[in-house]
Chain A
Amino acid sequence: MIHIKLFKQVGVFAENKDIAADIRLNKLLPALEKNQDIILDFEKIEGATQSFIHALISDLMRKYGNEVLDKIQFKSCNATVKGIISIVVDYMQESD
């Protein structure tokens, strides 16, 4: 199990796709390769953009299928962040 606290890297508003891609490539993908569960911790994050969340998780869903969502917990998300994550997750599944 790895626990990633996003606030340290992205600040209160998660919008930087370069950082999202960096976290995906250097933390999330290696963890999934080792079959580890992941906690993505959104504590202190006030908002996020659809493109940030897309850059963070969409490729994981494409590579590992929708089952990858069983390996990821989205922790301490406020209503806005939950809304954005839900949109991206639904959008990716609808686009299959």
Chain B
Amino acid sequence: MVLTMIAALGIKTNPSNIECEKLEARSKHYLERMRLFDFLHVTSGITMKKHELAGRSVPLTQIKNSTELTEFITEVTPLLHLEPKHAEPIRYIMSELIRNVLEHSMSKHGAIVSAQYYKKSNTIRIGIADTGIGIWKSINQSYNPKTDLEAIRLALTPGITGTTRQEGGTDRNAGAGLFFIKSIASVNSDFFVIYSGKAMYKLLKRKGKKIKLHVDPFEDRHSKKGDLPSWEGTVVGIDLSLDTTQEFSLLLKLLNETLNEAIKERKKARYKKPQFT
């Protein structure tokens, strides 16, 4: 996630304003393999042997339109050497998050994405960053959130999209994309974090076996902050645990049941109450 943020800043910064000190860190080969220095237009001086270039990772990639997204999605899963039950949610998550950037961020630089497999935790960590208008401005087209944190809360609520206030969304946007991805993370007991403007929301790993998806993300087990250094755009990170990943079709079945409950809960909250005098 941090790598994508640095790369996203790198591509909008004049290369003459970027300096890179001689790297001593052991991670320098990793940074080279992930193509960070290409994004910063910095010559790292690191030479890589062929076997060092291979690895279960998706190097930093910039995606600026729908065609590039389709190509990326086709190529991405083989790079991570995954079995289908792991590949499916990853392909799904990446596709939906990148499309969100292309449709809502208004960033001329598009989305920056990367992913990496971590052997020790047996997780795939995905980061997607943009330097667009951010969630507050996007949601503010239809709603009026007072803060970045409130905007994130709305963006994670099913049925809410910046494109309309109409229930069920428009012909192109259901307002369910981020809720859906947060729900996949919740069902799998994965980390999910979203950072935009001065606010960050982090879904914490679910405790216990009972799965309950809430309409209001603040009712899920989470942490949040509203006074961080401002990120002009949006960043999403998700850690997908390969130990807990369920078959995607089972996950969807579970998701459907809980999503319907969530929508009913949302509708019920808007019911008018009788006035008893």
Contact = CB atoms under 8 A, between A and B. Distances in A.
Q: Do A and B bind each other?
A: yes
Contacts of B64: none
Given A13-B95, A80-B252, A87-B255, A55 B172 contact: yes
Contact of B168 (A50, A84, A96): A96
Majority secondary structure, B binding face: helix
Contact of A95 (B73, B159, B173, B247): B159
A74 to B, nearest CB: 15
A91 B257 CA distance: 11
Interface of A is mostly: helix
B107 to A, nearest CB: 18
A15 B95 contact: yes
A47 B263 contact: no
Contacts of B247: 79
Interface in B251-272: 252-253, 255-256, 259-260, 263-264, 267
A71 B97 CA distance: 32
B227 interface: no
A18 B171 contact: no
B260 A49 contact: no
Interface range on chain B (Cβ under 8 Å from partner)? 35 or more
A87 B177 CA distance: 12
Contacts of A11: 70, 74
23 contacts: A15-B73, A21-B172, A46-B88, A47-B91, A47-B92, A47-B248, A49-B95, A50-B174, A50-B180, A51-B99, A51-B177, A54-B169, A54-B173, A55-B171, A58-B168, A58-B171, A62-B171, A79-B249, A80-B88, A91-B259, A92-B168, A94-B264, A96-B168
Given A47-B92, A83-B252, A83-B255, 16 more contacts: A13-B91, A15-B95, A21-B171, A47-B88, A49-B92, A49-B99, A50-B177, A51-B99, A58-B174, A59-B171, A80-B88, A87-B255, A88-B174, A94-B264, A96-B167, A96-B168
